[in-house]
Structure 1
């Protein structure tokens, strides 16, 4: 006996199990672990924008010269009263004592990096991030995701703890090297999460589970920005920012190693009913098999749905970088907000985003379960709700008077709707192929970050004057146009139909099954004819 589940016009066979299995279940535990891991990762990623505000010596950052050395402000120097902005050299700083050398006590160094160097440091993370996306998807598919996620968080822990000393002794070059290494390790996170969700998320719960996990992109920013601001303004200074996130990442790596599981079949405590419910809904044929499916590269690369996801993903990454990395600088230079308030005000829109995430995830699942819309049209609607209001909000931000209440209201509006795209394009690869969703997302992440990582560099070129309202308006208008265009392509080309090539088993296995079934089918036909 089998159930039929509507999936964008496709009939999906399931086993005769309770399709309405309810209860907390271990699938939600895995969802929570993935959510916490991504929260930590995004906190580490998004903190850099506010950190740079604290790290840079602002009275020289507009200099067009190649000022890239470390400058240390000494409040204890005897000449401070006569020269209030005195820079002491590295040797004098080292003479301050062991704790000063490790940057555990003030004074902390200030960096003479101009805007282009700052934007390069921001962008360098994505150079590493996109480099291993496709291999990351393959490794996660072949060897499982738990150990990959644990390793990624552990590497981020070590690099983050070492970052302050790397900056002090190696300047911007070693800072870029550290950011690239963090990007390389974090490149495994999203493909691994998609691979795990493809094994744990039934169709009727997919929107909620995926949106809950990827809601960490908003919550990570909500926590990261104000925490970064408070730590930077405290006695720990900007070096304390990276130490805090390093310790947090290490703790999360331990949780992932202890409680994570690649699939229901590999979870030691999951009930038989829940395991069968998940696997039957996903149409899995061999529940306890450790056999890995061969990736159908030809089919994946010919899938138009994949290219629609890549295009709209580019727009999302571009807008995300502007909101996460550049808006703190906008709030500082144009709005004149101090470092503590900067982190709080920049984080508020993302807090609203995290709450609206629950509504959009419920809304998308309701449309599918009630069959008001097909899966394809649901994804397109959700994605449009994420892109179009964000684009309109950015246009308004370019022209509105630079009043704090007006600017903050527009940012809240943008983020409140932007999160809807997470149950649009981001869930889409799992709809097309639960078995190869991680591989498809790794390809999409590579293409999106290859182009989207140019956003800080493009911003640096547009901002000839970092305090110019007109120049910032151009940045927002360019981002708005990208949102509009990429969403239009997705609406015209995108699909969420379950792919034929997702079905487990090779073509040879299918032929054997057909050969074995043929005598039985012939016998049944003969009995019917005789009757």
Structure 2
């Protein structure tokens, strides 16, 4: 039992929900990242070892330019960009578990048909599939934030959100390792999409059976004492989701802490997706690493991130618990470690030349230190508004997809020669500048205080309020008329 909450089990259903959300994030990021490795196998260097092996195994390969490769990698983010905010708005009115299930299932099915679409329609077919996957995956993080906001107690918020978001690292790591193995097998790159699509579909079924949107949703595994304790502690912060709820758009869109959060998210995504989408290509074309080894080496940073995050979350929660730092100060400190540490690493990465070991070491450092952002800006949505945490995630994540969209696009314009160290250095310097500037803005203007507009208003309550005001005006007029009559 919890010492502060004797009726709350230390390991309860809320942790099972967190684990299920972790699996959802993991499996969806596998599907998001698998193309970063697959595209290297789809379009190998002419007469390279991978090229000759694919020819021998009868695996289709494609002669794509750097611009075409960047367009394919960016297509996911175009869909992600246009659908993130609409998805989060739907999440304010409809069951988040159902929406998350649909998002995961459709994305998995699209992965399964990817090889067929590519072989039938070429690059446009692949771009269309990735764009559609981006549209449906736009539901992922807003729904996860919307669900965990109804399960996570304030004292556990950082740890549970951090654990769920660690599915990003685990999914990325899994995709890089297993995609490399599958691509170098006799089945070639098509097996990447068949295997990852099938596994993701199975995880969706597990989520459907064991997941739950909130303590108000009945589930046979949820204990009554745990449900009552969570409801009691969150009753002043979290309201029931209904179709009639009115979203305080004006307050949200004019909130300085919200836009500060958005800026930090954009900057982080630029640096993160720059490495995520381009590092396999950089390792292969500049450092000449074998694709099978690329998978393992590229996955090491995400393993390091996953392992480093737990002591960071513990230290951050401990400092907050003993009031060594305020919540706002804590968010700024850890966000600075994440983003300025990443900027420093990118600057160093621009000067490694052909030193393979140093490049891998710096890559590991940048990605590992990024986990500090999970107790920085990435949990800030729940700080500002538990009721609209999903909507805020949709707003920031949708806007931040510009970072994931622009980073590979800029690479396509700048890097004309994929083996040019100087051209890649320019890319890394741009990424460092984006991280540095966006964190300065976060330091100056971020806040972790719950906002006054957190409590949603409903159409019914608004109508009732208007009726009450009308009744009061009518009664006052009648009283005045009576006084005049007496006179």
Q: What TM-score, normalized by structure 2, do the two folds share?
A: 0.89
Does the aligned pair in 2 maintain the 1:282–1:434 contact within 8 Å?
no
Matches within 5 A, 1:47-126: 47-59=34-46, 75=56, 106-126=57-77
Does the aligned pair in 1 maintain the 2:37–2:179 contact within 8 Å?
yes
Does the aligned pair in 2 maintain the 1:399–1:473 contact within 8 Å?
yes
Partner of 1:34: 21
Partners in 1 of 2:404 and 2:193 — Cα distance?
25
Matches within 5 A, 1:268-417: 268-269=219-220, 270-284=222-236, 293-417=245-369
Structure 1 residue 328, shift from structure 2 partner: 0.4
Structure 1 residue 311, shift from structure 2 partner: 0.5
Matches within 5 A, 1:210-229: 210-229=161-180
Pair 121,287 (structure 1): closer, same or farther in 2 beyond 3 Å: closer
Partners in 1 of 2:91 and 2:437 — Cα distance?
32
Which of 133, 148, 154 aligns to 2:105? It is 154
Structure 1 residue 281, shift from structure 2 partner: 2.5
Partner of 1:43: 30
2:220 is aligned with 1:233: no
Partner of 1:82: none
Does the aligned pair in 1 maintain the 2:70–2:408 contact within 8 Å?
yes
Does the aligned pair in 2 maintain the 1:19–1:277 contact within 8 Å?
no
Cα shift readout 1:109-133 (whole Å, capped 9, x = no counterpart): 0011111101100000001111111
Does the aligned pair in 1 maintain the 2:237–2:454 contact within 8 Å?
no
Partners in 2 of 1:311 and 1:399 — Cα distance?
28
Cα shift readout 1:375-431 (whole Å, capped 9, x = no counterpart): 111111111111111111111111134312111111111122111111111110111
Structure 1 residue 268, shift from structure 2 partner: 2.0
Cα shift readout 1:344-386 (whole Å, capped 9, x = no counterpart): 1011011100111112222222222111111111111111111
Pair 30,296 (structure 1): closer, same or farther in 2 beyond 3 Å: same
Q: Secondary structure of the residue that 2:416 maps to in structure 1?
A: coil
Which of 120, 127, 134 aligns to 1:183? It is 134
Q: Secondary structure of the residue that 1:206 maps to in structure 2?
A: helix
Q: Secondary structure of the residue that 1:109 maps to in structure 2?
A: coil
Cα shift readout 1:417-476 (whole Å, capped 9, x = no counterpart): 111111111110111100001011111112111344111010111112110111111111
Partners in 1 of 2:403 and 2:367 — Cα distance?
22
Partners in 1 of 2:342 and 2:161 — Cα distance?
21
Partners in 2 of 1:418 and 1:392 — Cα distance?
12
Q: Secondary structure of the residue that 1:372 maps to in structure 2?
A: coil
Partners in 1 of 2:79 and 2:243 — Cα distance?
31
2:400 is aligned with 1:448: yes
Q: CA-atom RMSD, angstroms?
A: 2.4
Structure 1 residue 287, shift from structure 2 partner: 7.9
Does the aligned pair in 2 maintain the 1:284–1:504 contact within 8 Å?
no
Structure 1 residue 298, shift from structure 2 partner: 1.4
2:90 is aligned with 1:139: yes
Partners in 2 of 1:60 and 1:126 — Cα distance?
32
Does the aligned pair in 2 maintain the 1:397–1:476 contact within 8 Å?
yes
Partner of 1:9: none
Structure 1 residue 276, shift from structure 2 partner: 2.5
128-137 vs 237-246, greater mean Cα deviation: 128-137
2:196 is aligned with 1:245: yes
2:8 is aligned with 1:21: yes
For structure 1, which runs of at least 5 residues remain unmatched after alignment?
1-16, 62-70, 76-105, 516-531
For structure 2, which runs of at least 5 residues remain unmatched after alignment?
470-487
Q: Secondary structure of the residue that 1:453 maps to in structure 2?
A: helix
Does the aligned pair in 2 maintain the 1:207–1:362 contact within 8 Å?
no
Does the aligned pair in 2 maintain the 1:211–1:361 contact within 8 Å?
yes
Pair 488,247 (structure 1): closer, same or farther in 2 beyond 3 Å: same
Which of 156, 159, 175 aligns to 1:208? It is 159
Partners in 1 of 2:274 and 2:242 — Cα distance?
43
Q: What TM-score, normalized by structure 1, do the two folds share?
A: 0.82
Structure 1 residue 23, shift from structure 2 partner: 1.8
Partners in 1 of 2:30 and 2:189 — Cα distance?
15
Which of 475, 489, 494 aligns to 2:427? It is 475
Structure 1 residue 291, shift from structure 2 partner: 7.3
Partners in 2 of 1:201 and 1:509 — Cα distance?
32
Partners in 1 of 2:210 and 2:34 — Cα distance?
27
Does the aligned pair in 2 maintain the 1:201–1:209 contact within 8 Å?
yes
